[in-house]
Amino acid sequence: MMAASVSLVKLFSQSLWMMWENLFAVITKFRSQSVWRYGICKLVVLKYHGESVVCQDGHRILPGDWVGELHLDNRQVVQLTRTLGADRAGIRTARMLREAMKEISRELDSNPELSKVQALTGITLLHRGIIHGIGFDQHPIKSKWQRRWYGIYLRFLLRMLHPEGRQRVEDSTEKLSPMMLVLSKQSLKARFAPRRKEAVS
pLDDT digits (tens, 9 = 90+) for 13-36: 666 666 666 666 666 666 778 889
Reading phi first (left if > 0) and then psi (alpha if -120 to 50, else beta), residue 85 is in left
CA 155 remoteness from chain centre? 14
CA nearest 14: which of 172, 165, 127?
Answer: 165
The per-residue b/e assignment along 159-178, b for 16 or more CB within 10 angstroms, e otherwise, is bbbbeebeebbeeeeeebeb
pLDDT-based confidence at residue 184 (cuts at 50, 70, 90): very high
Q: Taking the complete model, does pTM exceed 0.85, yes or no? A: no
What are the residues whose beta carbons fall under 8 Å from the beta carbon of 137, sequence distance 6 or more? 53, 55, 56, 181, 182, 183
Residue % of the chain over a pLDDT of 70? 64
The whole-number average pLDDT for the span 145-154 is 71
pLDDT beyond 80 at 190 = yes
pLDDT mean across residues, the chain: 76
Sign of the Cα torsion 26, 117, 51, 101 reads positive
The residue ranking higher by pLDDT, 138 or 86, is: 138
57 backbone dihedrals φ, ψ, rounded to 5°: -85, 5
Which DSSP symbol is given to 132? T
pLDDT at 94: 84
